[in-house]
Amino acid sequence: MRWVLVVGVGLLGCGGGSSAETFTLGDVQVDVSGEGALRVQTAGRAVFSTSASPLARSFDATTDFAWGFFRFRRRNESEAAFRFQEATSDGTSATLSYEGDAGALSVTVTPSAESTDIVFAYDGPEALDSLALPLTCDADASFLGFGAQYELTNQRGEVFDLWVREQGVGRRGGPAWTVSGDRHHSYFPVPYFMDARGYGLVVDSDERTLVDLCATDPEIAWVEVENVRELRLRVLHGPTPRDVVRQLGDQYGRPEQPAEWAWGPWIGIQGGQDVVLAEADALEAADVPYTALWAQDWVGRQDITETFIDIVYHWVVDETLYPDLRGLVDELHRRDKHFLGYINPFVIEEREHFAPMQDAGLLIQSPEGGSYVFPTFKGDSSLPDLTNPDSAAFVRDFMVSMLDDFDMDGWMADFGETLPPDAILSSGASAREEHNRYPLRWQTLNHELLRERRGNDYATFSRSGWLGSQGTAQIVWLGDQEADFEVFDGLPTVVPALINLGLSGVPYVTHDIAGYSGGPSTKELFLRWTELGAFTPVMRTHEGLQALNNWSWNRDDETIAHFRRFGRIHEALLPEITAAAEEAARSSLPIVRHLLLAYPNDPNVIDLDDQYMFGDDLLVAPVLTEENAREVYLPEGEWFHVFTGERFEGGQTLTVDAPIGTPPVFSLGRDRADLRAIE
């Protein structure tokens, strides 16, 4: 058993007791109560406050790992408060001193122009099992962001942890933890949130982070970080939600803008060289706009069942399916189209990369000795030790081949969630700490090579991430949704995840039309998902696991016409998408925007998670159910229904008829007859 530091953070108002000390540090005022509660104010606004002193928690912990899923269990848990001793200041920072049963804790508060760093340093014989902070939670507190969260945008009232992992199938929780996941499991969690009043908090740590957002105690939002010796919090001052997103990007990076062709549409296709060329011919014959074909099965395919088809995990071309891949890519380039491939970091034991990497010591190592091998759905596998430059270089050589030998324009950089926390790494770093950083290392390996070789004329899309991925990933897709209308893991989960990623500093996003797992997808699902896809940055299809049975763009004449029309609408929006992408490259302002970013003074928008602003002027309320109407909130202003031309005054909630082909999309201040006329 070790001690864990638990900090309850209150972002609103100062908790308990009269102020014992007040320090003015430039534009920031730091108040410390007699009980050791802390409040930070700037321009008269409280941007951070705790209701009491931090807690140290101790427990016996076990971690189960299988198939990219993780189960954390704690037993014999106890906690002890740190006792406040004194507060001092040197004029540039303030320091709070605490004593605890297992050691001393010092808290240093250092403000700058747009943020304040709060560093908790523990002096004891061992790291704390966890540090828990009780943040003040008042009636108006809200908690938006946290990366790819799939059900809500405001997470108030929720309890969950932040740890990179497989999201699960169905997202309903339950005993089958190696398959199902739960509602907050995410490939791309971010230990950060924004309060709608215009400030944010970053937990600048790679350790597992847990939050209890006014659920157990309605007056406290607990933020807890495990395995702590030193913990840095970064308070983003705002003062507007847009400022918070920009400040997040200033601190943790933002992606470079891709080439204009990368805004799609992209068509997923597999089946081999002849099938890919036939798809290009069919798209052109049907006059369907597209800029890229992406074929994940260039590495080969593996039929799981008669209807479920997946791919082989390795990094070389399947010459049976693609006997002249370079010729195929050259032909697409002659047509002014682009080719995207696929890669992931798994090193499957039975494939050709395993033995040479094992012999050279390039794989992650097991605590028992030898290469760390774990089961995947494609067989026993290991991972490259990306803390080892030789291992990264080995993988990079195969990526170089994808560019030099086949002239690919980019690829899906899949996975990155599965580093076992007990692995041994060549750098000597703790795999527990490296687990959440593995996606950053994987994305950096892909992104830097492509940028070095192609400038910005490429596209790479990934699904896993953590704090810092804002600057290492280029385009992020949401992962494997179910091919259905289910609220747990189907089409309805796409919109909250897009919005939350945008609030978390990830502006370039995409998703699979019409889902990946489960299925088969229906015609209605495909048509509705297509409507949503037209109003997202990259409009992109995926055949899904049931590629032979899922509905596709060319299944019948009605679907072809529908997909062509919305592809043309997306194409017509490219100047607006490109302008928004340029802004995102400067300020991190996302293209898919929570309404809060446009209407920060409207309290009605805070909890909206099923509609969004697409750029500056379009409000998109996609139909996410098997119905032909939906409720829409229109903020203040003059709004025109894009597909009917009807005019509405804002400041109201209304129910809008929405037959297929007429999704509720509204234009601010002007009629978009140009979009309505597209056939």
Q: Which positions are annotated as active-site residues?
A: 414, 417, 480
- 3-class SS of residue 404: helix
Contact criterion met (CB below 8 Å) for 34 and 44: no
- Residue 325 identity (one-letter amino acid): L
Q: Which two tokens stand for residue 578?
A: 């490109």
Identify the residue whose tokens are 């926390």.
421
What is the DSSP code (8-state) at residue 622? -
Q: 19: left (phi > 0), else alpha (psi -120 to 50), else beta? A: beta
Contact criterion met (CB below 8 Å) for 313 and 343: no
CA angle 31, 108, 230 (to 5 degrees): 135
The whole-angstrom separation of Cα 656 and Cα 659 is 10
Indicate the angle between helix axes 494-503 and 523-534, nearest 10 degrees. 20
The whole-angstrom separation of Cα 619 and Cα 655 is 15
CB count within 10 Å of CB 486 equals: 17
Q: Please give the span between the terminal C-alpha atoms of the chain, in angstroms, as a whole number.
A: 67
Picking from 503, 532, 625, 480, the residue whose alpha carbon sits closest to that of residue 265 is 532
What is the DSSP code (8-state) at residue 643? T
- Report CA 155 to chain centroid distance, whole Å: 15
Q: Which two tokens stand for residue 221?
A: 């939002």
- Backbone φ and ψ for 346, nearest 5 degrees, come out as -65, 140
Picking from 137, 175, 171, the residue whose alpha carbon sits closest to that of residue 156 is 137
Strand 94-99 and strand 83-89: pairing? antiparallel
Q: Which two tokens stand for residue 618?
A: 């379009």
